[in-house]
Amino acid sequence: MEITVDQMYQIENKGHDMGFLKKFMMENAGAAAVRRLLTKFDDVASKNILIFVGLGNNGGDGLVMARHLAGYGSNVTVMLLGDPEKIKTEESNWNWSILKKMPSVNLMSGNSLDFDFKPDIIIDGILGTGISGEIREPYASAINYINNTDCYKFAVDVPSGLDPQTGNTANIFTKCDMTVTFHKMKEGIPKRKDLTGELYAEKIGIPVEAEEGIV
């Protein structure tokens, strides 16, 4: 059963109003994404994992993944594509604040893309259902970096640049080995399995009643 992006936002807001806060959805999304990623590696301890995060909640999911992966002993670097002051939402900011207290996670922000390590895994938490229009900097350079780097690539919710509603792509977009979307599959994502790689939809604990009148 696939839903529209608009339905997803309505379900998310209704779940939040019921008390299942977006902060909880983000936690479950990040945790479910890590569990799927771990099925591809016997051991992620000491693997170099580079997580690109945008200023929206797609980025927030990536921040949750960073915290979980540090717990598995990975060398985690988070690259925030913008100014921390410009993180858009309370739930994403909440996760950034936790990471600032975790020396086990290397936090970077701004737009320099020269890293002093070769990533074994790249996580694309740049853009999700909030994509609109052609890709602007610094997201564009990050997407190009991801496409030009040879390693395992994981997309949070949807490969950045692919519109999860229509299945159309923007001027640039990531091509990943695995994609985990949340709650339910969005209509446009399965149209581009060449970009998603292995594709999964993971439940994130939203009360089933949050769908009433929407789906």
Ligand X SMILES: NC(=O)C1=CN([C@@H]2O[C@H](COP(=O)(O)OP(=O)(O)OC[C@H]3O[C@@H](n4cnc5c(N)ncnc54)[C@H](O)[C@@H]3O)[C@@H](O)[C@H]2O)[C@@H](O)CC1
The residues that touch ligand X, with contacts defined as CB under 6 A, are: 8, 12, 25-26, 29, 54-61, 88, 127-136, 139, 156-157, 182-183, 204
- Residue 27 or 124 with smaller CB distance to K ion: 124
The 111-140 contact track toward K ion, x by CB under 5 A, reads -------------x----------------
Give dist(CA 185, CA 183) in Å, integer. 7
In angstroms, what is the minimal distance from the CB of 160 to K ion?
Answer: 4
- Residue 31 or 38 with smaller CB distance to ligand X: 31
Q: Which does 165 bind (CB under 5 to 8 A by kind): K ion, ligand X, none?
A: none
Among 95, 129, 160, 165, binds K ion (CB under 5 A): 160
DSSP assignments along 158-170, one per residue: S-TTB-TTT--B-
Using an 8 Å Cβ cutoff, are 195 and 171 in contact? no
Strands lying side by side in the sheet with 121-125: 105-109, 75-80, 48-53, 121-125, 152-156, 178-182, 198-202
Q: Which does 39 bind (CB under 5 to 8 A by kind): ligand X, K ion, none?
A: none
Q: Which does 133 bind (CB under 5 to 8 A by kind): ligand X, K ion, none?
A: ligand X
Give dist(CA 95, CA 156) in Å, integer. 16
Q: Which does 25 bind (CB under 5 to 8 A by kind): ligand X, K ion, none?
A: ligand X
Give dist(CA 104, CA 78) in Å, integer. 11
In angstroms, what is the minimal distance from the CB of 149 to K ion?
Answer: 16
Q: Residue type at 75?
A: N
Helix (H) or strand (E) holding 198: strand 198-202
| CB-based closest residue to ligand X | 128
